Copies of this chain bind each other. A is one copy, B any other.
C-alpha cells in the first residue's frame, strides 16, 4: 500500500502564477495518483483555474491567502508583513503537519527566511542550504550551497557534505555517493581556510561520507564526484556560469548551423538527434532545488519555469517525503553532533592543518 503525500503549494509565487502553478499541479496529478494538494492564494482565482483542471481539482483544497510576496520583496519585509501571504501559509501547513512538503516558485530570499523561521533548523545544522542536481558527463551530480549562505565556515561546509550525501543517496539513488569540496586546485595546500579546515574534518572523521578531497570547476561538468560542496557565493556563481555557458554554446551552434545551406540541411536531417540533445539539457527536468537542513521538506522551483518544470519540482519534493529524507539526515547528523566525536574531529583537524 502506498501512502498519500500532501503537498502545500504557494499558489501565487513565480513569474506566471497562479495559472502555471495550477497547470503544474494538474501534470503532477497525472503522473502520481498519490498526491493531495493544499493550494494557498487568491481563492476565487484558484477555484476558477481548478474548474478547468478537473484532475487537480479532485485532489486539491484551496485555502485563501489575502497577501502575496512579490519577487523583489526583501526577506526582512516578507518576514515582517508577509504573515498572511500564500508563501507563508503554505510553509505554515508543513509546520502544522497538514502537509509533508511545501513547493514555491516565489522569491528565494523570502522563502529561505520564512521557512527557516517557521520550520526551524534541524539539530546540528547551523544554516540551511540550497541543493539541486544537474547533468554531467558521468550521470547526475548534486551541488550545495547554491546561494543561501554568502559566507561559510568549515563547519557549515561539513554539514553541507552530510546533507548532500543523503540527498544524492535518496534523490539520485546513488548507493555510496562520493563527496568533494570545490576549490581552486586539488592539492591540499590550495584554497581558503574554510575549505582546508572542512577537508581536514571530513578526511579524519568517522562520518559515513565517502570523501574524495578537492575538485575544481571543470570537474562539475566531468562528473568527477557525485556531490560537490561549496559556499553559497561560489556555488551560485558556478551554477549560473554553467547555465550561461550552456546557453552560449547552444547559441553559437544554432548560429553556425543556420549560417549556410549545408548547415541547415545537415541540421534538418539530424533534427531528431539534435532534439534528444536539447531535451537532455532541458532545465525543466532539473527544476526543484531543496532547502536542506530544515525540519520539513521545502522545495524552490525556478520562478520562470512552466507547468512541466513545476510538476518536476513537486515530484522532487514528493520523492524526498516518501524516502524519509529528513529522518535519514537527522540520523547522520547525530554522528556529527556527538560531543566526544566533535572533540576528536577538532584535534584531528588541528593535526591535519599543522
Contact = CB atoms under 8 A, between A and B. Distances in A.
A351 interface: no
Nearest to A192: B150
Interface of A: 72, 74, 135-137, 147, 150-151, 182-184, 187, 189, 191-192, 216-222, 230, 232-234, 236-253, 255-257, 259-260, 262-263, 265-274, 276-277, 280-281
> Chain A interface mostly helix, strand, loop or mixed?
helix
Given A220-B244, A248-B136, A266-B270, A238 B236 contact: no
Nearest to A266: B270
A189 B74 contact: yes
Q: How often does this chain occur in the complex, in copies?
A: 2
Contacts of A74: 189
A213 to B, nearest CB: 16
Contacts of A151: 192
Given A189-B74, A238-B238, A241-B238, A281 B221 contact: no
A143 B171 CA distance: 36
A238 B217 contact: yes
20 contacts: A74-B189, A150-B192, A182-B237, A191-B233, A217-B239, A217-B240, A217-B241, A218-B247, A222-B247, A222-B248, A230-B237, A241-B242, A242-B244, A245-B249, A255-B277, A256-B273, A262-B272, A262-B273, A265-B269, A266-B269
